[in-house]
Amino acid sequence: MELHRCVETLSLLGDESRLRLCALLRDRELCVSDLVHVTGISQSRVSTHLGRLREAGMVRDRRQGAQSFYTLAFATQPEAVQAVLEEVTQSSDATLEGDRKRLLELEAERRGAGAFGDDLERYYSPGRTWRSLTAGVAALLELGDVLDVGSGDGAAAAAIAPYCRSLTCIDVNARSIEAARDRLARYDHITVTVADAEDLPFTAESFDTVLVFHTLTYTEQPRRALEECARVLRPGGKLVLLCLDEHRQTEVTAPYGERHPGFSTAAVRQLLAQAGLGVQHAEIACRELKKPRLDVVLAVATKPET
């Protein structure tokens, strides 16, 4: 290596922040926001350091949508530089250990949120949104006669309305029902009414599908509500349930009127079985990205054929 290049390289590596960034980028591709989150260094400083490292050929960048992702160009560096970077990567220094720990926590958090969901949130491109994805998936549905228990303002119902033979929305909150009625007014196959999940005003075996989306934790008697859902479900019909997993963050959920601090997957399975339904699936579906990052349970159950 020429003398002036040695001086430039030593100057470049003679900065703690840049060494921290190099250590993090050794085996991973990360964006600026990731590096800011892990290191606590300001975004402007991270961007400046990455710019210098890129100009020197020590990192590579790749554009995806509105973001740039960086990785260390380790293999193309002179052996002496590789030796320094390898030493830094394996160092037990407290600052570097802290960076590694926070990076592992960030990755674990994103795995909990679901890799696909994480990519959709992070890697924007025009039209690639949760709303458009939901619309595309909904178009595959043939739902028959549907009951939406605890429909609220009808937001979920609006997404599936075109794919139901009939859709009945109920909620105990009259104001929410009025909002749902306005939202769904353009559909002539939808009925919107005030009703209690624990005392459904429908005859037995009236529906092919029952949706219980984030309703169970607000009912006074969850078992009774599911028994009522099972009663109005036709043999072979399907119940789909979403609810918060059991949690301790009642200070967050109680102001919304939640009566139960979530239900574990085991509790959901038990409640569905007690209602006479066969549980096909009951697992953690995702983790909310917003703090306190509550887990959401998804369960699917069917009513036995008679």
- For residues 260 and 221, the answer to whether their CB atoms sit within 8 Å is no
Statement: the pTM of the whole predicted model exceeds 0.75? no
Instruction: Pull the structure tokens for residue 166.
Output: 């009939």
CA separation for the pair 279, 272 (Å, rounded) = 7
**In whole numbers, what is the pLDDT of the chain averaged over residues?**
87
Reply yes or no on whether the pLDDT at 279 is more than 70: yes
Q: Which tens digits make up the pLDDT trace of 61-107?
A: 888 767 788 988 887 888 888 888 888 888 888 898 998 888 888 87
Element (H, E) at 32: helix 32-39
Give 206-259 pLDDT, tens digit per residue: 999 999 999 999 999 999 999 999 999 999 999 999 999 999 888 888 888 899
Cβ contact 293:287 at 8 Å: yes
Give the whole-angstrom CA distance, residue 183 versus residue 195: 18
Q: What does the domain layout of the chain look like in residue ranges?
A: 3-106, 142-302
Which residues touch 28 (CB under 8 Å, ≥6 apart)? 71, 103
User: Which pLDDT value is given to residue 223?
Assistant: 97
The pLDDT score that the predictor gives to residue 172 is 94
Tens digit of each residue's pLDDT (9 = 90 or more) over 262-277: 999 999 999 999 999 9
d(CA 173, CA 250): 21
When comparing pLDDT for 24 and 286, which is higher? 24
Given a cut of 50, whether residue 116 has pLDDT beyond it is no
User: Dihedral of CA 272/273/277/279: which sign?
Assistant: positive
Segments of the chain assigned E as strands: 30-31, 59-64, 67-72, 145-149, 166-171, 190-194, 207-213, 233-244, 278-287, 295-302
Q: Quick one: pLDDT at residue 86?
A: 86
CATH number, domain 3-106, options 1.10.10.10, 1.10.3720.10, 1.10.8.80, 3.10.105.10: 1.10.10.10
What is the CATH code of the structural domain delimited by 142-302?
Answer: 3.40.50.150
Q: Is the pLDDT of residue 289 over 60?
A: yes
